[in-house]
Amino acid sequence: MEKYHRLKLPGIGIVIIIAGLLCWKAWASRTPKLDASGQQLRTFVGSEKFKELPPAEQKQFADAMFKSGPIVLKDGKLAPETESAMMNAAATHRQAMLDEYFKLPEGKARKDYLDKQIDQQEMIKKLMDNPPSTQRGDAPRLVIRKGGNSAAGQKAMAESVPPDQQAKMAQYIKDIQARRAERGLPPGPNGFMMIRTNTSAVGPK
């Protein structure tokens, strides 16, 4: 009996190691809670598993990621993992915004929606043209992601937009430019701008 156990122990050890690796892999790839750390949320939002979630859950995690704290730049650049998270979050907010806009009836409801976005554009333009000399502790924290202003940028943006959203995106840009003209404003950016403050997120502009 003693010899039998000696022969079986190495096999048992291998089984334990494999089981441990499988448990670690499952733990590492699990979906974090919405109140997880910023690093955990950015890692998840930048992953392929994030893309498998329903749109409503994607938006919850994207919002939680931005609320988790400031993103730290390294040598003035985003880490590749953080860049992927920002791109996925931008795509999520873009889809949510397009869905919200096109659910509205044509006419006043859509114009009111566009006016809010145009007001945001103009506010950000003023801040960028005349940045405050000091940053108060209660001042809104802004994260602005733009794309599509140049020919190369527009091509990259178009390629990143899923086919089922491309027509909506084109119509949205056309509508917001037309509304700017109605208000006597110059044309705005033809591409995409995601504006993020402490409490709100705005998608394609």
Tens digit of each residue's pLDDT (9 = 90 or more) over 21-33 = 454 444 445 788 8
- Higher pLDDT, residue 66 or 159: 66
Looking at residues 177-191, what average pLDDT do you find? 87
What average pLDDT is seen over the chain? 74
pLDDT, one tens digit per residue, over 8-18 is: 545 555 555 55
DSSP code at position 192: E
Distance of alpha carbon 113 from alpha carbon 101, whole angstroms: 7
Percent of the chain with pLDDT over 70: 62
Predicted confidence band of residue 176 (pLDDT cuts 50, 70, 90) = very high
Rounded mean pLDDT of 142-152? 48
Question: Would you state the structure tokens that stand for residue 45, as one six-digit string?
Answer: 């939002």
pTM, full prediction? 0.64
Q: What is the mean pLDDT of residues 153-175?
A: 77
Examine the pLDDT at 92 and tell me if it is beyond 60: yes
Structure tokens at 112: 């009111």
**How distant, in Å, are the alpha carbons of 11, 15, 16, 18, 19 from that of 6?**
10, 15, 16, 20, 21
pLDDT tier, 205 (very low <50, low <70, confident <90, very high otherwise): very low
CB 112 within 8 A of CB 183: no
Check: CB of residue 186 under 8 Å from CB of residue 142. Answer: no
Mean pLDDT over 78-92 rounds to 86
